[in-house]
A = this chain, B = another copy of it.
């Protein structure tokens, strides 16, 4: 597809393909008149999970921002497989990949446990990120992130 210049990692529907999981409970405000979670909220779920992941690996996004860095989203992709509903306990799995000197990607799998406790794939997605100063000037990624990407790609 023309225009998809960076987005390249596979948002697998298999939970085993992911390194990290973050649980979110669906808020009522996130539902819409179809009775399901509005699709725009998945980007907020991805973001909350990304922030939890960065904290988990010892590089909280607040520290990143304290150093004057931002991590703007350059591209996003989502596929909606089954709806989420109010009060659902949602697991967002994520995986780092395709780390270059200036960009990184995250793949996401959104699941809800079925009656038997097995995760059901509800959505998958990818976000592509750059790194800039607060003023918007493009920067190289922090070295720890490049190294984390090297390990993830092995």
A73 interface hit (Cβ, 8 Å): yes
How many interface residues does A have (CB within 8 Å)? 50
A7 at interface, CB cutoff 8 A: yes
Enumerate chain B residues within 8 angstroms of A13, measured Cβ to Cβ. Answer: 3
Measured in the bound complex, the distance between the Cα atoms of B20 and A99 in whole Å is 37
Does A80 interact with chain B (Cβ within 8 Å)?
A: yes
By a beta-carbon cutoff of 8 Å, the part of chain A in contact with chain B is 1-4, 7-8, 10-13, 25, 27-29, 31-36, 38-41, 43-44, 47-48, 51, 60-62, 65, 70, 72-80, 83, 85-87, 124, 134, 136
| 30 pairs from A and B in contact (CB 8 Å cutoff) | A1-B4, A2-B10, A3-B11, A3-B13, A3-B79, A3-B124, A7-B77, A27-B44, A27-B47, A28-B38, A29-B32, A29-B40, A29-B44, A29-B47, A31-B32, A31-B33, A32-B33, A33-B33, A33-B36, A34-B72, A34-B134, A39-B43, A39-B73, A40-B41, A61-B86, A65-B86, A73-B80, A74-B79, A76-B76, A83-B136
Our pick among B8, B32, B43, B80 for the contact of A74 (Cβ within 8 Å) is B80
